[in-house]
């Protein structure tokens, strides 16, 4: 019955219109990306409109360039809006002041002249019921006149249940500051009604403020949007809600580390929503096609970085070598030649979890011998490296390539009775300065004969008995 009730509410809307309404206070949060994605999918699945609204009425918290950065980030993920609004521009039209005056005139709000007391909120009062509510002030901050003894409720379409409050527990919230700028409690309902928003998706942290918004929606008149509060995304380390102080939470941080937008978006899709068939890989268009509001989950999801790495690895392997070369450019060591990079990509593609892995996996190929610190990894190091040096020196430059290198080193192992694993362990540590590399013999071609011999001789010099 609950699901049927939800379906009726959504299907009854003439047009689905959703919005993403960030404040321009910094980079886009992972939780913000998820909210934008779900709002986009809900609208597009129903052939509706997705709006972007910059909520910048709190001028003190605004960060220069943040609005443009937010828009650029959303575009990287393909979350393109149909309409765009900026609240500070709308404020200049007087739309919020007009709404506040309407509420005062109809007895649902009042002017307050209380001064801030070590807090940022204008019209501050330590009590639920402001001392100014029964006075006849005609100027000051405008505050909501919360009624007594009412039940305030709504049906949360994410959690699929009715949620209610007694109005006696709801405080007289500030709606309009004396400078004419609205607070979120006024600007959001005014805009949602004006823009005919049908469904609001927002973070769980807004739930305590919902009774305030229900009253403002009611008093302003018009059709209130359906409201759904998303779950909190938890840190896999602390088990607590992702925090800017403790965790990496900004989308741009992950893009800078070499996560593909498609992979990050796919990962975020499943942080609070699940398909009926347990499918994991979705493009944005596929997600829109399969999106179902009944897929929202009640349990708070954990941000599992290993799972994100799995997604990213899957998406990296879906790219052609040419496509991977293009997105790898910011992560390629300076001075590396394009053709050399293209030769290396097939060797490391299956090992990469992030684009930034290219440097750790392959940077040694592009370095010089004086930049490599050889590692001695077995007791037979000198014998291994001496034999390898002699054998590789004997290869004619024109025949320096994988077939000849394979044949030469295999013969060296056989002729000397070396253990293959130990031999290549020392060879790898000397050539790369690392225990882990792509297939070593295949990288000797790009490194070149002269550079390979220099590294081997450097190792012999360092570990000579």
Using alpha carbons only, what angle is made at residue 323 by residues 315 and 335, rounded to the nearest 5 degrees? Answer: 115
What pLDDT does 117 receive? 57
Indicate whether 107 and 36 sit together in one domain: yes
Provide the domain count of the chain.
4
Distance in angstroms (rounded) separating the CA atoms of residues 317 and 340:
19
For residue 361, give the CATH number of its domain: 1.10.8
Residues 317 and 352 grouped into a single domain: no
Domain boundary among 200, 234, 268: 234
Do 30 and 268 form a contact (C-beta atoms < 8 A)?
yes
The strand ranges marked E within 97-140 are 109-112
In a 10 Å sphere around its CB, with 0-12 CB exposed, 13-18 middle and 19+ buried, how is residue 310 labelled?
A: middle
My answer on whether 288 and 394 are in the same domain is: no
Rounded-to-5 percentages of helix, strand, coil across the chain: 50, 10, 40
CATH number at residue 412: 1.10.10.350
Task: Tell me the percentage of the chain whose pLDDT exceeds 90.
Answer: 79
Report which DSSP code applies to 106.
Answer: T
More confident residue, 287 or 276: 287
Length in residues, the chain: 465
- Alpha-carbon gap, residue 433 to 16, rounded angstroms: 58
> What CATH number does the domain containing 278 carry?
1.10.1160.10
Average pLDDT over the chain reads 92
Are 143 and 175 in contact by the 8 Å Cβ rule? The answer is yes
| In a shared domain, residues 298 and 197 | no
Same domain assignment for residues 299 and 424: no
Q: Pick from 287, 303, 322: which residue ends a domain? A: 322
Whether the pLDDT of residue 116 is over 80: the answer is no
Domain shared by 211 and 176, yes or no: yes
Together in a domain, 225 and 278:
no
pLDDT exceeds cutoff 60 at 191:
yes
pLDDT digits (tens, 9 = 90+) for 279-330: 999 999 999 999 999 999 999 999 999 999 999 999 999 999 999 999 999 9
Give me the helix-helix angle, 420-432 and 381-393, nearest 10°.
80
Separation CA 234–CA 30 (nearest Å): 11
CB atoms within 10 A of CB 411: 11
Residue 211 vs residue 127, higher pLDDT:
211
Helices (H), 394-448: 402-416, 420-432, 440-447
The Cα 194–Cα 19 span in angstroms is 12
Contact, 404 vs 395, CB < 8 A?
yes
Q: Are residues 361 and 392 in the same domain?
A: no
- Extract the tokens encoding 289: 């096609």
DSSP 8-state code for residue 23: -
Residue 279's domain comprises 235-322
**95 and 156 both lie in a single domain:** yes
Q: Is the dihedral of CA 109, 115, 120, 126 positive or negative?
A: negative
- The pTM for the full model equals 0.88
Sheet of strand 226-230, all strands in order from the earlier edge strand to the far edge: 161-166, 151-156, 226-230, 199-203
Same-domain status, 85 and 229: yes
Residues 226 and 301 in one domain: no
Average pLDDT of 143-152? 97
Mean pLDDT comparison of 285-289, 397-401, 438-442, highest-scoring range:
285-289
| Residues 33 and 127 grouped into a single domain | yes
DSSP string, 307-325: HHHHHHHHHHHHS-HHHHH
Provide DSSP, 210-240.
Answer: HHHHHHHHHHH-S-PPEEEEEPPPEETTTSS
Q: Which of 308, 336, 366 is the last residue of a domain?
A: 366
């Amino acid at each position: 019955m609950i699901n049927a009730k939800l379906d009726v509410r959504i299907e009854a809307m003439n047009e689905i219109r959703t919005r993403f309404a960030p404040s321009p206070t910094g980079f886009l949060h992972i939780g913000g990306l998820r909210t934008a994605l779900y709002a986009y999918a809900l609208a597009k699945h129903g052939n509706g409109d997705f709006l972007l609204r910059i909520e910048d009425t709190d001028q003190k918290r605004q960060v220069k360039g943040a609005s443009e950065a937010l828009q650029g980030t959303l575009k990287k993920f393909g979350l393109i809006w149909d309409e765009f609004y900026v609240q500070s521009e709308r404020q200049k039209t007087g739309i919020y002041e007009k709404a506040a005056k309407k509420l005062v005139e109809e007895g649902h709000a009042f002017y307050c002249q209380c001064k801030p007391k070590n807090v940022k909120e204008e019209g501050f009062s330590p009590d639920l019921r402001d001392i100014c509510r029964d006075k006849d002030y005609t100027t000051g901050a405008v505050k909501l006149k919360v009624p007594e003894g009412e039940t305030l409720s709504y049906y949360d379409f994410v959690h699929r249940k009715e949620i209610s409050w007694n109005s006696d527990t709801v405080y007289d919230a500030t709606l309009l500051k004396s400078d004419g700028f609205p607070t979120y409690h006024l600007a959001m309902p005014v805009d949602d009604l004006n823009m005919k928003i049908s469904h609001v998706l927002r973070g769980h942290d807004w739930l305590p403020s919902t009774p305030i918004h229900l009253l403002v929606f009611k008093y302003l008149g018009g059709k209130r949007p359906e409201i759904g509060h998303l779950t909190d995304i938890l840190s896999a380390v602390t088990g607590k809600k992702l925090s800017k102080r403790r965790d990496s939470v900004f989308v741009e941080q992950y893009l800078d580390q070499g996560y593909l937008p498609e992979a990050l978006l796919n990962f975020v899709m499943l942080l609070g929503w699940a398909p009926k068939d347990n499918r994991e890989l979705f493009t944005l268009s596929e997600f829109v096609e399969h999106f179902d509001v009944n897929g929202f989950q009640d349990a708070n999801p954990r941000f599992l970085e290993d799972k994100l790495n799995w997604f990213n690895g899957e998406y990296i392997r879906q790219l052609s070598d040419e496509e991977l070369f293009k997105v790898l450019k910011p992560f390629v060591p300076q001075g590396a030649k394009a053709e050399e990079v293209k030769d290396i990509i097939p060797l490391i593609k299956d090992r990469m979890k992030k684009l930034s892995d290219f440097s750790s996996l392959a940077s040694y190929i592009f370095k010089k011998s004086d930049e490599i610190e050889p590692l001695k990894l077995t007791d037979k190091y000198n014998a291994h490296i001496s034999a390898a040096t002699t054998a590789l020196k004997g290869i004619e430059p024109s025949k320096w390539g994988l077939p000849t290198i394979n044949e030469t080193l295999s013969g060296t192992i056989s002729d000397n009775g070396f253990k293959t694993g130990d031999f290549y362990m020392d060879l790898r540590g000397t050539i790369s300065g690392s225990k882990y590399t792509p297939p070593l013999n295949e990288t000797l071609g790009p490194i070149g004969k002269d550079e390979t011999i220099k590294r081997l001789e450097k190792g012999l010099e360092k570990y000579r008995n």
